[in-house]
Structure 1
Amino acid sequence: MSLPDMSPLVRSKEKLLLEKDAILHEWVESELCISILERHEIEPDFFRIYYAGSVYDYFMGVVSGNMAIGECPVIADLIDYLKNKDLRADELFVLCTHFKRSVINATYRLGINEHAVFNGISFLFDQNFASVLKLYTDTIYQKEQEALNASKAKEYFLSNMSHEIRTPLNAILGFVSLLRDETTNPRYQQYLDIISNSGENLLHIINDILDFSKLRSGEFTVDPQPFNIHDEISHTMELFVPSANSKSITLTSFIDPSIPYEIIADALRIKQIVGNFLSNAIKFSHPGGAIHVEARCTEGILSLSVKDNGIGIAPGDQERIFDAFSQAQEGMMKINEGTGLGLSICNQLAEHMGGSIELETLLGEGSLFTLKIPVVANYECEIPKFDASIFDGIRFGLLEYDPSESYKLESLQRYWEHFGLDIQLVTTVKDACDLLIFLESSMDDDKRETILRHHIPSVAILDFLDDRYDTTPTIVPLTFPIYCTKLQSALSEVLGITHSRHPIEIGENGRLGFIGKVLVAEDNLANQELIKIILERYGLEYVIASNGLEAVREYRSDRFDLIFMDEQMPEMDGNEATAAILAFEKETGHEHTPIVALTANVIKGARERSIQNGYDAFLGKPIVLREIEQIFERYLEPTVLPLRENVTTKESGSRAIDMEHLKSALMLEEDQIEHLLKIYHHKMEHSLHELLNAIENKSYEDIAFIAHAIKGSSANFRFEELSRLAYVIEESAVGEDEEFDFIEAYDVLRSGFIKKFI
């Protein structure tokens, strides 16, 4: 490129120097430049004195030959100053071209009309602007990188600090739980309740931050698994009954009975979203309000909605409530409860699951939040949610009620219509029917007295559970929220109908079983026995391995249809054994055998890590029979087994243990549970002795390993205090926490164990 003749411009240098003030004034005071400066809150005089004048001096230095093009320090200072003002490239272009225009205009005023002068000015400005633009681009890139690095550092900090805070907080909650069991003083109980509730709230906030951090960093994964939406949503609603009751809010629901018993999706995240909807609905509803939960599944899309008649959301807030750290406001007052992350996390979770969240709201009239996500429905697994056949011929009478309370019965009537129950509206309690249903809030004393005096079989629909009918055998209370299983239980109880709703029973002469051979890798003797009983219950063959090495040897020498693999075992842990089995399959072309992780580490993220380690599915401890049954349904061929013979129930020798609760939770017979408890008792005495030795020797690795085993086996028997304390000991040992009093924790653990078997 040929250079223009610069001599005419050099000869005009003195005249241009004299015009400096006029040129700067014209440049900075131009309409476009003023608007840019104002937009970025830059005072024109400040800009002219500290930057514009220096730029002009640099330009004239280039004309004089004293400075090189594009190397002016003031340009770098200007760009650095403007980068913090978020100056755009087009705005920078306007500022530079207006400087050029002001200089050229000055040449016309001075009568310097030579074409060569114009070319020289244009050349210098073009060259300088190219350097300015490159510097601007480099600076902005650097700024973006700094912002990105700062964001990564923030996410790393949030994630690590969340984990660090959880460990001592779990210890606090564990010891508070033990103190609550041991303290009888009502005042101390109240104090401990406050500590516990505050700790749980703090843990919830930490979990929100951790989820948000994982979503932002891309570490979050979705884990679709088979689950029962009817049970999961009903259980989720029950968790919010106490907080709804505290504000006298009625919680109604309709879970469409036509939704298949089993669908495949990420149940944990679905419940998290619905739980957030319910929490917000209660928070922003007025006392005495109503909240309605609805679940539907149409053409592979699951819809879950929560509707309230609360304060609603203003139009200006509707978009930003899904932003991080944003909350809606009630009138002029912001409700500062929680992190402001809930809906942002829910929105991102929905998107990760391929779905969305929809909002309908009207200020002052309430809100409707709806989660819609694609799911896979298993229509082959048909288990009735409500057996209407057992009520054939039963005449139900619904006592007339206050029309203003009709919303309380809308969902209930939809259930009745779906199942074809014969429900007739009656005006008096003496109208002919086999079972009377009445709304307690619409009752008067005379009608209630008549029902009690004549022992009329009735179902009382209560807003909140209380003890008013505890001593009345002919009246069964039914509280909100009402769903299929709760409705059938109440109707059956008052009519004296004994009908098993357990899903494994098939017909009158058989029960559900499975065909296959299972390899179980589990080092804990009590857990081995529990799994044996469960496998025998379903008619399955099995082989038990006590560590990972044994499991790999058994797998190489036999053929299995399913593998249960404990993650923590001696000699070779579950992850190593799984990797060895997968490698063997790959080397030999062996057909893949599904491997299910068994772990007591059920905190958020454990499931994702298990899948990443090569497992096909995840089972947390304590073992839940329905969850293990779902694994069987997923991987094994079903069959019908003969019904088990009834076992005579004997009085439990373990007085401090709620045998009925264990029978319900484990779905085992009492003699089977007694057998398992004896093994657990013997194993615990041995484990506690080993734990004390490890503590005295400060062998943190052994402490963690023994405490982990105690945690899992105690959880299987729903000994939550023992399991939680063992978890605290395990976590403290993993962190080699020298400040933690292991001896005191051991004493409390041993004392709690002894109390269970007095």
Structure 2
Amino acid sequence: MSLRLKTIIGIAIIEGFLLLALIMMSLNVFSSTLDNELVKYGTSTSNIFAATTQDAVIESDLATLESFAETVMKNPGMVYVRILDSEKDILVEMGDDRALSVTFKADRSLEEAKLDGVYDTFSDIREGDFFLGRVEIGIEASELNQVLADTRNKATIIAIIEIILVALFSFVLGTYLTRQILSLKAATERLVNGELGHEVEIKSSDEIGQLGNSFNVMSSKLKDAHKLLDEQKLYLEGVISNILDGIVVFDKEGIIHDANPAIRHIFGYQAEELIGENISIFLKDGLHKMNHQAYMENPIHMERVIKAKRELSAVKKDGSTVFIELSINQMDVASDDVKYVTIINDITRRKRDEIRLNEALEKANLASRAKSDFLATMSHEIRTPMNGIIGTADLLQTTPLDDEQKTYVETICGSGDALLTIINDILDYSKIEAGQLSLENVLFDLDKLVQGVVNLLKTRAVEKNISLSVDIERETLGAYHSDPGRLRQVLLNLVGNAIKFTHDGGVKIIVSQQGEGHLMFVVQDSGIGIPIENQDMVFDSFSQADGSITRKYGGTGLGLAICKKIVHLMGGEIGVHSIIGEGSRFWLSLPLVKQEKQCAPSSQRPIMQNRVNSASTKSLKVLVAEDNDVNKEIVRMYLEKLGHRHALVETGLEALNLVQQETFDLILMDMQMPVMDGVTATQEIRKLSMEAKDIPIVALTANAMQEDRDKCHDAGMDGFIPKPIKLKDLEEVLKAYV
């Protein structure tokens, strides 16, 4: 039903109700008026007639009464007249016989007169309080009822005509009023059909006109918003279409609702092919699909999977395998229909690269282990015969020699030391390259460390007739925490090089404070110098400033490279400044903070823990476990020269048995021996319940790698002497137990 029809019907109903009420009220008023007039007329007529006939009734003058009755009957509407005496006997009656034949009953209103069409009324004839008689009259009422009925019919006709006219005028008014509303309706339909921005013509400034204006504003804004939405949609579609990662939208049942074009490059499916398929189409086998279905059906599992990246193998359209990385996020949608968006990244190439990288890494690790094993083996194999060479030469120096023999022996010792230095450099460099070089962090005395370097090298300086001096700032004296062994190694290398390349003048070691928490070490010489263009390469591996230097002075070119790597491991910097013909200035800066606690004097810091309480003059009884005859003979002669007793065995098992039979002050234990090696023998000795378990054990081995030292320490050994062994090194160790 249209608004116009509703308006017409509404107005007609309202008008009908109002008109009906008005007519009813008018008819009631008219009926009441007629009723009143009729009652008034009947009452006045009967009263006058009663007063007129009073005397005639008293006198019973029937002729006069009949005359009066005839006169009354001549009045309009009179139906009958009846005069009664005091006994209510009829004196005179005149009029309609039918009306006279009906028993008299007075009517109180016109409504009661409708039954017989006669309005019956009476008036008593009285003289004071005496009842003399009664006058009864009947007045025609049907005409009044007919008038009332005619009036009602005419009013009804007028009401119907008025309702029709009102409906007609309402139709015209409704058409006028709903014209713009219909225009708004048509415009709204066009808006719904996609004609965004369509506007209606405003013909008035009333509420409907204002509504139309608001509609136009809304339409314009909708057009702008839709345009912006289209632009954003195109932008997002462009972005999603160009994203290399696959995007899949699916519901809680796993049914795919959307996918981007990148899916084709990953799985080989067109996006349209996937719509309506289950996400498990990408899973490789039944087990994967079962696990996936379990996740989909368990909200707790899904909550755990959401936003977490997972890597798994999937299957492409052609059945081949692809490695993917995916992450799932729950979409924020207004409806209760839960959606998930999955970002899929093809990591097949990365996985293959990882596999190749892992294989290469494994090969590199194998190569590194092989290299380490080779270096350890070569170190052991080289140090074993070198122990015989250097040890024999060391012993020769203790015998009476003429000048020529002494020269030969010194040459052998010098060459042996040079070869040993090269071997140690190669081992250190290999450990640094493999990342296996570890640093200690112990308390040491700076002055004693520097003086120790000078004491070790002063003989070489004296031999070249050059000076070797030290300048240490007073503020730097004290104890520091670091790796004193590696710092000593760097200083020995720098000072040793300075002495090697200096022929006149001297070498000076300078130690100074460099800001808070840093020390500067400078080794300054007056040697041959280094060209500016070559100064950057002196710290490179296997490099020297000039190839002729190697031929003239020797060396591997590893020393400074090792120094640089050690200094960097210690958190410092190293560099050089040099002028040809004037000398060089090597410097290194290290983060060293002075400690409040001072180091104990050297006499209070033995080389290793002393477990034997002996007099300083006591001759030790030493057990030597060594399978190599040459090495065993060298150690035997060393011990005899130092005045110590000894017992020699060739296996760790023999050493284990002998310590349970005899008492020894010290054991020198080789690591590699037949039947039972030195590490195992040490572990078994430490398990003994007798005093033998507390015998100090010192490793005597050609295995000089750090892991070898760690094995010895973990097995329970107290010290470590790498081969080749020198007499003075062994003497220093034995002094700790005398």
The bucket for the TM-score relative to the shorter chain is 0.3 to 0.5
Task: Please give the TM-score of this superposition, normalised by the length of structure 2.
Answer: 0.37
The TM-score with structure 1 as length reference comes to: 0.36
Higher Cα radius of gyration: 2
